[in-house]
């Protein structure tokens, strides 16, 4: 799935969950007998006749609570994070696991990449994207930077990341963006 589809799915799920919470809360208000205090532009005599039955208040209250908790659970289930904070690395065994803090490794890689002339800022994170581990570096470069030098540095950092994490199943993605306003670059003579 594309990111737009995922974003749309989350928006729709949020709206549906919010509607379920509102409907459930309305049923709880109806069950509690406070519906008359809310002004309403419509009158439903047939529905109001159900209100006179002894089981109706318990049924609507129970249904309301189920809908409220179901809606909240549905919304919470769709708010997940795809970030990966730590990974098991080579050398792990049933006797113990070796784990690496991915944020620390990516901070170091970002620092190395930022040391290149023309790179203004770098942020890193590790995510699970479509079932694969991806180390992502988001870098902003100066408009006057040498793109071929930045590309070579990006390749070197990607190789170092894979070596540092010690895993063959991790991929590296470096997103380069160009700053809208340039800063003066330090001059090397």
Q: 0.85 exceeded by the pTM?
A: no
Residue 113: burial class (beta carbons within 10 Å; 0-12, 13-18, 19+): buried
Give dist(CA 71, CA 13) in Å, integer: 9
Give dist(CA 98, CA 93) in Å, integer: 8
**Confidence (pLDDT) at 162:** 82
- Residuewise pLDDT in 10s, the chain (189 residues): 456 667 777 888 898 989 999 888 888 887 777 766 665 555 566 666 777 788 888 888 899 898 888 778 767 766 766 777 777 777 767 777 778 788 888 888 889 988 888 888 999 888 888 888 888 899 999 888 888 888 899 899 988 888 887 777 888 898 989 888 766 555 555
**Confidence (pLDDT) at 138:** 92
**Confidence (pLDDT) at 59:** 87
């Amino acid at each position: 799935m594309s990111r737009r589809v995922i974003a749309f799915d989350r928006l729709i799920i949020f709206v549906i969950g919010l509607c379920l919470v509102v409907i459930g809360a309305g049923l709880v208000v109806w069950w509690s007998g406070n519906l008359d205090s809310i002004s309403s532009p419509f009158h439903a005599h047939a529905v109001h006749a159900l209100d006179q039955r002894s089981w109706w208040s318990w049924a609507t209250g129970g249904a309301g609570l189920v809908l409220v908790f179901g809606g909240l659970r549905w919304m919470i289930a769709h708010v997940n994070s795809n970030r990966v904070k730590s990974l098991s690395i080579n050398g792990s065994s049933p006797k113990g696991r070796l784990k690496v803090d991915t944020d620390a490794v990516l901070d170091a890689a970002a620092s190395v990449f930022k040391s290149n002339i023309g790179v203004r800022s770098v942020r890193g994170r590790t995510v699970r994207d479509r079932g694969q581990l991806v180390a992502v570096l988001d870098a902003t470069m100066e408009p006057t930077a040498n793109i071929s030098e930045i590309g070579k540095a990006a390749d070197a950092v990607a190789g170092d990341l894979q070596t540092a994490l010690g895993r063959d199943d991790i991929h590296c993605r470096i997103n380069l963006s160009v700053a809208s306003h340039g800063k003066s670059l330090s001059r090397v003579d």
